[in-house]
Chains A and B, each alone.
Chain A
Amino acid sequence: QSVLTQPPSVSGAPGQRVTISCVGSSSNIGAGYDVHWFQQLPGTAPKLLIYPSKKRPSGVPDRFSDSKSGTSASLAITGLQADDEADYYCQSYDNSLSAWVFGGGTKVTVL
């Protein structure tokens, strides 16, 4: 049971927009801590998609965007492409656990 809750899977057709939710609580996202989003392709290390400052690391297209409201956050992927098929994880800091915590991950499938 992850501290941050993500849907196990989302899917969409090429070109569509999909969103991944990340539900936390008042001790993590709701406390104002930054939320990070990562993409993980099979057999590779996770890759940061967006800095808390909203800047994107080199090579990450602006099709990826994030938002936060209250105790939840979300990642949106617009113009879905085949190479967006991957696992996506949200992450934040939890002050009741004094630990960084991850969501359980969401598998994105391009139909």
Chain B
Amino acid sequence: QVQLVQSGAEMKKPGASVKISCKTSGYNFISHYIHWVRQAPGQGLEWMGMITFVGETPGHAQKFQDRFTMTTDTSTGTVYMQLRGLRYDDTAVYYCARGPSFDFWGQGTLVTVSA
């Protein structure tokens, strides 16, 4: 069955970076791109970006352009996202989701930014 399994919760200090993984299984990962979506505590969903496994130019929200990077490992079907220069308002649950229809989601990774 299709699964997206994310890495565990992280606690970081302001200004640090965080890298989260999303391992796909149960489908041909080459044929689907992966989105990243985050949700701050008590807030709604916010799209961050998307990436394919076939080297196409990833797309990301303008808001994160300068400090957000996505990469892939085609040998394991794993997608990574890195967010740099963490701020307190980056505290959120970060999700990966399968494109194009966001039909399967990872379990979420809580990132807490605290001094």
Which A residues contact B (CB, under 8 angstroms)? 2, 34, 36, 38, 40, 45-48, 51-52, 57, 89, 91, 97-105
Q: 8 A-B residue contacts at CB 8 Å? A: A46-B97, A51-B101, A97-B62, A99-B59, A99-B62, A101-B47, A102-B37, A102-B45
- The complex places the Cα of A78 from the Cα of B82 at a distance, in Å, of 41
Across the interface, do B106 and A99 meet the contact criterion of CB distance under 8 Å? no
Q: Give the top 5 A-B pairs by smallest Cβ distance, nearest first.
A: A45-B105, A100-B47, A102-B45, A105-B44, A48-B103
Across the interface, do B106 and A45 meet the contact criterion of CB distance under 8 Å? yes
Contact pick for A45, options B46, B62, B107, CB 8 Å: B107
Contact pick for B102, options A2, A46, A103, CB 8 Å: A46
Nearest-CB distance from A75 to chain B (Å)? 15
Select from chain A the residue with minimum beta-carbon distance to B35: A100
Select from chain A the residue with minimum beta-carbon distance to B108: A45
- The complex places the Cα of A51 from the Cα of B95 at a distance, in Å, of 19
Indicate if B61 sits at the interface (CB-CB under 8 A): yes
Q: Which residues of A contact B102 (CB under 8 A)?
A: 36, 38, 46, 48, 91
Across the interface, do A57 and B105 meet the contact criterion of CB distance under 8 Å? no
Across the interface, do B45 and A89 meet the contact criterion of CB distance under 8 Å? yes
Across the interface, do B103 and A103 meet the contact criterion of CB distance under 8 Å? no
- The complex places the Cα of A15 from the Cα of B97 at a distance, in Å, of 32
- The complex places the Cα of A38 from the Cα of B104 at a distance, in Å, of 11
